[in-house]
Amino acid sequence: MKFGVLYNIDYRPEVHRSPSGYYGQILDQVQLLEELGFDAVWFGEHHYSGYSFGNPAVIATAAAARTKRIRLGTGVALIPLHHPIRLAEEYAMLDVLSGGRLDFGVGRGFLYYAYDIFGVDMEQSHQRYREGMDLILQAWTADRPFSYDGQFWKLKDYQFFPQPVQKPHPRVFAAGAGTPASFEWAGSRGLHLCTAFFGPDKLGTQANIRLYRKALATGGYDPASREVVAVSQMYCAQSKAEAVRLGGQYATNYYRFFASLDRLGSRSILPQHFSRVSAEELDAANLVLLGDPDDLVTRIEEIRNFYGIDFLLMEIAQGGAPNAEVVRAMELFARHVIPKFRGDGES
């Protein structure tokens, strides 16, 4: 089983101080993640209120310069909000500069506020997402000038540069949240899958992952050859009580922040769960990973078996967690949890 960290993080000046110090802390943490043996680090894309990164390719390129092994991903690049060729160029360049370490997480997003900012019709998001992804893959795999005649984007005799290092192209992880059609489409295209565990409908998520694997098989792809990565909040502490007290506060801080952004949009779609749920409720429902190392080993085994996942992507540095606490949680998890899922210590 693989483990990574997702920086889908909310900037809080009272905790993170200056933007330069904030980015510096993140890059120091990324370097530590590689030293501790984590497999990947991903960066989210958002465009408001200090949420995540306006251009994940920039922070990922800076992370590439500080590391040698760890894989670099996006969680996720919002395809409908950009010209696909611009994204293809930025992320192919990241793949080149990192020596072929890009994992390209993609999605359409579902907060209306981002679409309001960019003046893009949310009702077209599915079509723009799928067409944009098609164009990116054509650009990455074209060995000569090509033309494209789509609904939203058109090209004539276009020569792409630079080609990615990974062939035929970097792995693409398509996001699936609550819409079954997103899981089905990812499988039908033979893409890898990125989903999340913090929504309240656990049985729905389990069913959607099965739908994805069925679509893979129907499309002629071996499901065993594709990875399912899932996102969950995590906080590892010396005791269960400390993890719920501290990590639970940071998780609910982030949930409230996320819900407040949803309310800024021209349409609000998030359930009240995100603005009302308590840390104790999240923990009891196993929607977050808050615990001491032994507790987290047990919980990860449970979710791995329940959902059938290959790769756990954890959000640690959210909700105003200070740098020292983020680092401590990373170190405890790496030293006492990861070894239980590796080699002779596999659970």
Nearest partner of 155 among 171, 172, 132, judged by Cα: 132
Residue in the structure block whose two tokens are 């952004």: 261
- Mean pLDDT value across residues 56-61: 98
Instruction: Assess whether pLDDT exceeds 80 at residue 346.
Output: no
pLDDT of residue 344: 44
Give residue-wise pLDDT tens across range 304-337. 999 999 899 999 999 999 999 999 999 999 999 9
The mean pLDDT value of the chain amounts to 95
182 CA to centre of own chain: 15
CATH code of the domain made up of 2-345: 3.20.20.30
CA angle at residue 9 from 40 to 252, to 5 degrees?
115
- Mean pLDDT value across residues 143-160: 98
Instruction: Assess whether pLDDT exceeds 70 at residue 347.
Output: no
pLDDT category of residue 273 using cuts at 50, 70 and 90: confident
- Mean pLDDT value across residues 294-302: 96
Residue 125: CA count within 13 A, CB half-sphere? 19
What is this structure's pTM?
A: 0.96
pLDDT of residue 21: 95
Structure tokens at 35: 């030293």
Using CA atoms, how far apart are residues 44 and 42, in angstroms rounded to an integer? 7
Instruction: Assess whether pLDDT exceeds 90 at residue 110.
Output: no
Q: Are 56 and 45 in contact (CB under 8 A)?
A: yes
Write down the domain spans for the chain: 2-345
